[in-house]
Every structure is written in C-alpha cells, then in structure tokens.
Chain A
Amino acid sequence: MQVEDFLELSARRYPDKIALTCGATKRTYQEIDRQANCLAYTLLAHGVDRGDRVAVYLDNSVEAVVSIFAILKAGAVFLTVNPTTKADKLAFVLNNCRAKALVMPAAKLPGLQSVVAAVPSLQCVWLAGAAARGEFAPGKPVLPLSPTLERSTLPADPPPKKCIDIDLAALIYTSGSTGQPKGVMLTHLNIVSAATSITTYLENTPADRILNVLPLSFDYGLYQVLMAFKVGASVVLERSFAYPHSLIETLIRERITGLPIVPTISAILLQLDLAAYRFPDLRYITNTAAALPTEHIRRLRQLFPTVKIYSMYGLTECKRVSYLPPEQIDVRPTSVGRGMPNEEVYLVDGEGNRVGPGVVGELVVRGSHVMKGYWELPEETDRMLKPGLLPGEKVLYTGDLFRMDHEGYLYFVGRKDDIIKTRGEKVSPKEIEDVIYSLAGVAEAAVIGVPDEVLGEAIHAFVVVRQGVRLTEQEVMRHCAARLENFMVPSAVFFAPELPKTSNGKIAKKQLAGLRLEQTR
C-alpha cells in the first residue's frame, strides 16, 4: 500500500462524504481526489518525476492537503514547510533537498521572489490564492493553483503508479541539535505502518471527526489528515490555536470526536472555564511532543471524565513510539505507555546491552515505521540508525532515556544529554518540572543543568506563570524543597513571559541558558 491509496480508497468507498472542512470550505473525498489527480498530471507535465522533491509551503488549507496527495500521485516526495518559515531557512530547505517544484501562497511570492529564483533546482512554482501566470526566473513558470485543480480536460483516473512502497514519500525537516534542520526520509511503508498502528490503538473509524489545529509541517498535524483519510473519517483543519474560544466553538459545532493536543494547548485550555461547556461527541484527546504534566492530566480527567486521554511519545524519525492505554492514565499518569502495535521497543545501556526493569537506558525502536535516515547526512544517520536483530536491519536509537516497569510501561527520564548531574547525583529535569507544574499559577516550566564549579551542574528552572499570577523565586524553591530531595531543588528560578520553542512546540531547552530574565516576579 502507498500513502495516496488512503485518499483513493476512501474516495471510492465514501465519494460524497465530507473529508475536509477548512473554515467555510468543505470538500468531499471525491472532490479532493479529483483535484489531486489534476494537480498530479500538471506536476508530471512540468517535469516532476518519480522521487523528485516538491515543497508545500502553505497554511493548513484545502490546497495544502490536495497538494500533498497530488505530489504522491505523481510519484514524487512531498515536504511540508512551516508557513512561518523565514526566507533564509526556506532557501536552505529548498536547496538542501533540491526541490523541483513549490506550492506557496500568491501573497508571499513578491517578498520571496529573489529567494525562489535563486534555487537552481526549482523548475515551477504553483501559487495558491489570486494569481496569474508568469515567471519567477527566466523560462521558469509561475502557475495559479486553483484553475489547475479544476481542469476538466484531464483524465478522472490518477496517473499510473510508478512507485513501490519502499520508495520515499516524504521528507520532514526537524530541528537538529546541531543547528541546521535535517530532512527525515520516510518511505510509503514507513508512513503506512505508523498510520496503521496509530489508528489501530486509537480505534479510529469512519465516524470519527478530528479537529487539527497543528500545522501540517509538524508530523503530528500531518498525520491527522493522513490517518483520517486512511480510515475514511473527517478532518476539520484550523490554522492555529491562537483564539482558544474558537476552538471550543468548533469542537461543539463540528461534533468533534478526536482532539490532538500538545502541552501548550492543554495549558491554555485549562485556563478557560471549560466546566461551562458540554462535549458529548468528544471521544478522545491525544497528547505528544512533550509529556503532559501530571497536573494537566488530573485536571483534564476532571473536566472530561468520559473522554479517553492518550498520553503518547514519539519522534519524527519513527513518527510514534508509545501510547498509554487510556484506562491506565489514572494508574500510571507519569508513563508514556508501551510500544504500539507492530513495533518492538527496548532499553539499552551505553554498550548497547538490553537493560531490565527499573534501570535507565536509551530507548531503541524496531519496526517498519523507522525512517530510512536523514537526507544526505550519512554520519548523523549512523548515529541514530544502528544494526538490529536481522542482517541488514536498522533500528532507531532515540537518544531518549527511559526506564521501564515490570509490566513494560515506559517512563521518560530525559534526553540522553539532558540528565543533570549535580552533587554526584543524577537528576531528571522532568521530575523537577512536574513538581513545579503542580504549583498553582504555573503555566510552563523547564529545568536545565548549568555548569557550576561546586555542584558539577546547578539546576536552573525557567517558569511561565499564568496571567495575573505573582510568584517569587523563593515560593518556587519552597514548593520544590517540600517535594523533592534537597539535591533536586533548583538553585535559581527565572521567570519568563514565554519559553523559547522549537518549531514542533517543544521547549527549546538549549536556548534557556542564554536567556536573561528577572529572577523574582
């Protein structure tokens, strides 16, 4: 199976069903499939070939979804670039993967004309929104997208398939610790495998209606569309989560059954008076990107007692690793669960030997969802992908440290390089963060180790307080001292209006040490 089959099979099975809602625009499966076929033929006509990279640089929109499937139907490889990406990084990504074509908003072309013109590989640019034919460089056409999608003279059937399932389907750029983004290479098989495992444990059905506020450039957001199309469900796409009350209204109006969130969203949602609303259709909430603080879990459980809450963990390199069965969330709120269906996970020590229950080790992931590597970065690839059980097989060394209990449930301890060693003791930043989150008025917290002559590393905490709340460093320390071993109490607490985030919404801890912040608020 290939990823475009998700759409093609659902279009055959549920042609008139609304597949996608974006604001006032609704599209059926058949409409999206036909539009994607039109664009696929046009991509082919403009020289896009099997394996070529085509970038989608659009907000969450119908055009973005149609483009993704059109690129796949043409046998090419899609990459979704975050629409807030600035010129330099856009140029880097397009040049890095030698993109052959680009789909972008017409309104952004004037500001990016010189950037786009300077990418030698780029042969054609499609513009969403009001646009006219033209050229972005001599002999290189700019084409309006919307008439392309409505060309009735093209065949109704998709172009003949050229790919097999071990061909690349997507490149997803992730923020690397080294600074430059890295393109995670995913095959059709990788994506189909991950989507199958996840929709299995979420028990998705065609009756599901999923609200996605996460950008399609983030694999968590992208998969909401891919998985919904795989099972023939419906997706409501929002551009962002900026106006929280709009999300509440959409949840109710669209009778949403599935809501994927990240901890930042739960932090904002929990600031609202949710008890005033009823969400009778909501079946599940999923969380990933960073662990939900146990305090958030407790309050979400109170507010949504009948809703299944899935605490999950993953990384772009294999999409998803684990999920906590919802019935376990009250029993093991700090666990991110166990491996998902059709996947093996285990922990190893520094020498690569498997470790037993209770021992901290690096998580290793084995399965057909594990990436093929980083685009043209063989050394970085070799650090993450190492020989597995069978000849030629590669398994993913996540760089994340966990411990496992006797029943196989995983507990995140920290990044391999995130563990703080202070006074000779190993300290998990996560453990301290959980304690700080339990302090009333804390919206976000992050803890890092800072080099210190006496301690080895000193523990510094960075805290964002809720609107209108006043907290002092002493209050946070007092709260920690009452709940943690002495060596785990932060030596300094800094307050910030917000914490720097990676493009995937995780707190960018490496940037924290450089922040100059007031120490008492």
Chain B
Amino acid sequence: MTIRDELRRFVVENFLFGQTDHLPSDAASFLEEGVIDSTGVLELVGFLEQRFGIRVQDGDLIPENLDSIDNLVAFIEGRAASAA
C-alpha cells in the first residue's frame, strides 16, 4: 500500500466513520471540507509519528504540512528525504 493509500484509509476510518465516498479529493483542504478539527489534527499527528516514524515538531502543525492528502504526502516524503 502506498503512503497515499494509507493516509486515505486513515482519514476514512478515523474522520469519516468509514464512509469512503465522503473522502474529498487529494488536493482538498481537510478544514474546508469539514473533515478534521483540532482533536483530529492531534490524532493525525499521532498516526504520522507511529506509522511513519516521523517526529512532528510544534512548528510543523500548520495546514501547509497537514491539511490535505497531497500536503501530507509531500510532508512525509520530505521528511524521509531529509532523514536519508
């Protein structure tokens, strides 16, 4: 499963109560689509840390990193590249 697929699955299972058809496009903002709120962001961060071994710093808690599937993929890949 690709990172993108795993993220989609996490969002569907945790924020959309399993409703796959409610998943917005990869570029759509979670906030604007009403997918996520402040506690959701914390859950998402926990998932990134646990699943991808990324240490998410306070300064990373911005929409540019976390607010869509596309942003998340770029964030995770960027971290993987800098760690390599």
Contacts and interface: CB of A to CB of B under 8 A. Distances in A.
A25 interface: no
A498 B58 contact: no
B39 A243 contact: no
B42 A273 contact: no
A245 interface: yes
B38 A241 contact: yes
Contacts of A239: 31
Nearest to B40: A242
A84 B58 contact: no
Contacts of B39: 264, 497-498
Interface in A462-502: 467-468, 497-498
Interface in A231-277: 239-246, 248-249, 264-265, 268, 271-273, 276
Interface in A52-104: 59, 83-84
Interface stretch (B1-9, B60-68, B75-83): B60-68
B51 to A, nearest CB: 14
A468 B67 CA distance: 22
B45 interface: yes
A498 B42 CA distance: 11
B45 A243 contact: no
B37 interface: yes
A273 B59 CA distance: 10
B56 to A, nearest CB: 10
Contact of B61 (A83, A246, A264): A246
A15 B37 CA distance: 36
Interface centre among A83, A242, A245, A497 (most CB of B within 10 A): A242
B62 A240 contact: no
Nearest to A272: B58
A240 B38 contact: yes
A141 B43 CA distance: 43
Contacts, number: 53
Contact of B38 (A264, A272, A497): A264
Contacts of B61: 243-246, 272
Main secondary structure, interface of B, reads: helix
Given A249-B62, A273-B58, A242 B38 contact: yes
Nearest to B36: A242
Interface residues of A, number: 24
Interface residues of B, number: 22
A511 to B, nearest CB: 15
A246 B42 contact: no
A268 B43 CA distance: 12
A242 B46 contact: no
Contacts of A240: 31, 37-38
A264 B41 CA distance: 13
Nearest to A276: B58
A243 B58 contact: no
B53 to A, nearest CB: 14
A243 B30 CA distance: 11
B46 A467 contact: yes
Given A272-B58, A273-B58, A243 B42 contact: no
Contacts of A467: 42, 45-46
Contacts of B38: 240-242, 244, 264-265, 268
B21 to A, nearest CB: 13
A243 B63 contact: yes
A83 B61 CA distance: 23
Interface string B3-45: 0000000000000000000000000001110101111111101
A265 B37 CA distance: 12
A246 B62 contact: yes
Contacts of A271: 42
A268 B61 CA distance: 11
Nearest to B14: A497
A107 B32 CA distance: 11
A242 B58 contact: no
Interface centre among B30, B34, B39, B46 (most CB of A within 10 A): B39
Contacts of B40: 242
A242 B37 contact: yes
A273 B40 CA distance: 20
B34 A243 contact: no
Interface of B: 30-32, 34, 36-43, 45-46, 58-63, 66-67
The list of the 4 closest CB pairs from A to B, nearest first, reads A245-B61, A272-B58, A498-B39, A242-B38
19 contacts: A83-B34, A84-B34, A239-B31, A240-B38, A242-B36, A242-B37, A242-B38, A242-B40, A242-B63, A243-B41, A243-B61, A243-B62, A243-B63, A243-B67, A244-B58, A245-B60, A246-B63, A273-B58, A467-B42
Given A264-B38, A273-B58, 6 more contacts: A243-B61, A245-B58, A245-B60, A246-B63, A265-B38, A268-B38
